[in-house]
Amino acid sequence: MNASPERITGTPQHRPSRARTRVGPRALTGGRTLDVDSLIDDPHTGIIVCCGSGGVGKTTTSAALALRAAERGRKVVVLTIDPARRLAQSMGIEVLDNTPRPVSGVSPRSGRGGSLDAMMLDMKRTFDEVVESQATPEKARQILQNPFYIALSSSFAGTQEYMAMEKLGQIHADAQRSGAYDLIVVDTPPSRSALDFLDAPERLSSFLDGRFIKLLLTPAKGPARLMTAGFSMVTNALTRILGAQVLRDMQTFVAAFDTLFGGFRQRAQKTFELLQADGTAFLVVAAPEPDAMREAAYFVERLSEDDMPLAGLVVNRASPVPQGEVSAEEAMAAVARLRKNDPDSLTAGLLRLHADRVRMVEREARLRSRFEAAHPEVPTAVVPALAGDVHDLAGLRQIGALLAGERPT
């Protein structure tokens, strides 16, 4: 595994010259190639965030990157959200205890001294821990038992996003203090939209500063005369719609939580700034499907809008490029000729497979070139699909190598 950065940028895996370059993944993305090894080797890279729509292989990409970085000498922790069971088992993180655990079986190249820890996010527990660390024991107990809090911390659609950011902030602060890690790789939750994840801190802040919170706080806090006509109208309407008891639970929760809000907002803001900082790199992960590529384009737009440092695009599960120069049409014509004599011709079956594969590769190439036309500045890494599933370190290592542009020879 010779993988110095120069090799990777310098000579991208040349296919045999007879192969059609127009279907080769690298040749096709005439655009810039994402140099994964330089990214993970750069000591300034402190955080890598993998984002993208659901089902594109974000978790696998995060884990593979983390493992590769560790074996190349970084002290890495990977924060995953919802890994497949067998992958979690192979990394030793199937127990949800919200603490990074060392992954065994990592073999850093001699003299490089890298390490890999992994953890799986438990959003409710993270939320509880924040409450416990910020409030007095008595108040914490009060909050943790509030029905509104219980619903909020375990089911609210955005909680996972907030908590992923919260945990990232915590791990980063700890790492700065202890020096335990010099690279944090974060897998983001499969959000319904990119907004959920990037907007988490902003939305939290605007909510906490909003009039609604003041409204909920008023009866608990001050004398009733402070209530304006608008306030009482809203309170009455809410009582009608929600029922008095829900409103009361909410008020109790907000009142108990009030003192923690400042801390929350500050941390959310800090994490947001951390994401914008130089040491952070965002990788947008996609699969060569129209929806996933569209979502990827959207992520790219959003990241640049928010001044988030985008390192590149990873296109997972690309169909492997077929060898030989026979086009889909030629292959299908040959199929017809062969089947005339022998309806069960095995070679005809092989040619059909070939035709399908050529068509897939061409379709995926079109998708990528469309993306590239719109975002020529985004460096891209294309990871060919493996025939089997990835569920152990060997599989992750293989993905890591493919990410870095190594091709089996």
Partner 1 sequence: MPSRDFPRVRLHVVTGKGGTGKSTVAAALALGLASEGSNVLLCEVEGRQGIARMFDVEPLPYDERRIATGLPGPEGERGGVVHALHIDPESALMEYLAMYYKLGRAGKALDRFGVFEFATTIAPGVRDVLLTGKVYEATKRNSRHKGAITYDAVVLDAPPTGRIAQFLGVNNELAGLARMGPIKSQADSVTKLFQSASTAVHLVTVLEEMPVQETADGIAQLREHDLPVGGVVVNQVRPRDLDDDDLSAVRAGQVTKRKVAADLSRAGLTGSGEMVLGLLAEARDHAERRALEDTQRALVEKLEVPTYELPLLVSGIDLGALYELAGLLRDQGLA
CB atoms within 10 A of CB 282: 23
- Of 111, 223, 388, 408, the residue at the interface with partner 1 (CB under 8 A) is 388
Q: How far is the CB of 22 from partner 1 (least distance, A)?
A: 16
As given in the structure block, the two tokens for residue 31 are 């655009």
Per-residue burial over 56-67, b if 16 or more Cβ lie within 10 Å, else e, is bbbbbbbbbbbb
As given in the structure block, the two tokens for residue 278 are 């130089």
- Of 3, 27, 217, 238, the residue at the interface with partner 1 (CB under 8 A) is 238
Nearest CB to partner 1, comparing residues 180 and 385: 385
Q: Per residue, what are the HEC states of 86-116?
A: HHHHHHCCCCCCCCCEECCCCCCCCCCCCEE
- Of 391, 393, 397, 405, the residue at the interface with partner 1 (CB under 8 A) is 391
Binding status of residue 56 toward partner 1 by CB under 8 A: yes
Binding status of residue 363 toward partner 1 by CB under 8 A: yes
One-letter amino acid for residue 287 of the chain: A
Binding status of residue 215 toward partner 1 by CB under 8 A: yes
- Of 161, 187, 249, 406, the residue at the interface with partner 1 (CB under 8 A) is 249
- Of 2, 10, 11, 16, the residue at the interface with partner 1 (CB under 8 A) is 16
Q: How far is the CB of 409 from partner 1 (least distance, A)?
A: 13
Q: How far is CA 312 from CA 13, 14, 76, 84, 404, in A?
A: 19, 22, 20, 25, 13
Distance separating alpha carbons of residues 147 and 151, to the nearest angstrom: 6
Q: How far is the CB of 362 from partner 1 (least distance, A)?
A: 9
Report phi then psi at 25, rounded to 5. -60, -45
Q: Within positions 303 to 322, which residues make up the interface with partner 1, using CB under 8 A? A: 320, 322
Residue 298, Cβ density class (10 Å: 0-12 exposed, 13-18 middle, ≥19 buried): middle
Say if residues 161 and 125 touch (Cβ distance below 8 Å).
no
Nearest CB to partner 1, comparing residues 95 and 151: 151
As given in the structure block, the two tokens for residue 101 are 């655990």
Binding status of residue 324 toward partner 1 by CB under 8 A: yes
337 backbone φψ class: left, alpha, beta (φ>0; ψ -120 to 50): alpha
Q: Which residue matches tokens 């092989």?
A: 350
Binding status of residue 3 toward partner 1 by CB under 8 A: no
Binding status of residue 241 toward partner 1 by CB under 8 A: yes
Nearest CB to partner 1, comparing residues 28 and 76: 28
Binding status of residue 179 toward partner 1 by CB under 8 A: no
Binding status of residue 211 toward partner 1 by CB under 8 A: yes
Binding status of residue 157 toward partner 1 by CB under 8 A: yes
Binding status of residue 125 toward partner 1 by CB under 8 A: no
324 backbone φψ class: left, alpha, beta (φ>0; ψ -120 to 50): left
Of 88-96, 112-120, 219-227, 236-244, the window that binds partner 1 (rule: CB under 8 A) is 236-244
Q: How far is the CB of 235 from partner 1 (least distance, A)?
A: 10
Nearest CB to partner 1, comparing residues 109 and 214: 214
Binding status of residue 360 toward partner 1 by CB under 8 A: yes
Binding status of residue 302 toward partner 1 by CB under 8 A: no
- Of 346, 373, 408, 409, the residue at the interface with partner 1 (CB under 8 A) is 346
Q: Within positions 96 to 115, which residues make up the interface with partner 1, using CB under 8 A? A: none
Binding status of residue 89 toward partner 1 by CB under 8 A: no
Per-residue burial over 231-253, b if 16 or more Cβ lie within 10 Å, else e, is beeebeebeeeeeeeebebbbbb
- Of 2, 10, 11, 85, the residue at the interface with partner 1 (CB under 8 A) is 85
Q: How far is the CB of 177 from partner 1 (least distance, A)?
A: 32
Binding status of residue 54 toward partner 1 by CB under 8 A: yes
Q: In this structure, what DSSP letter does residue 191 have?
A: -
Say if residues 320 and 385 touch (Cβ distance below 8 Å).
yes
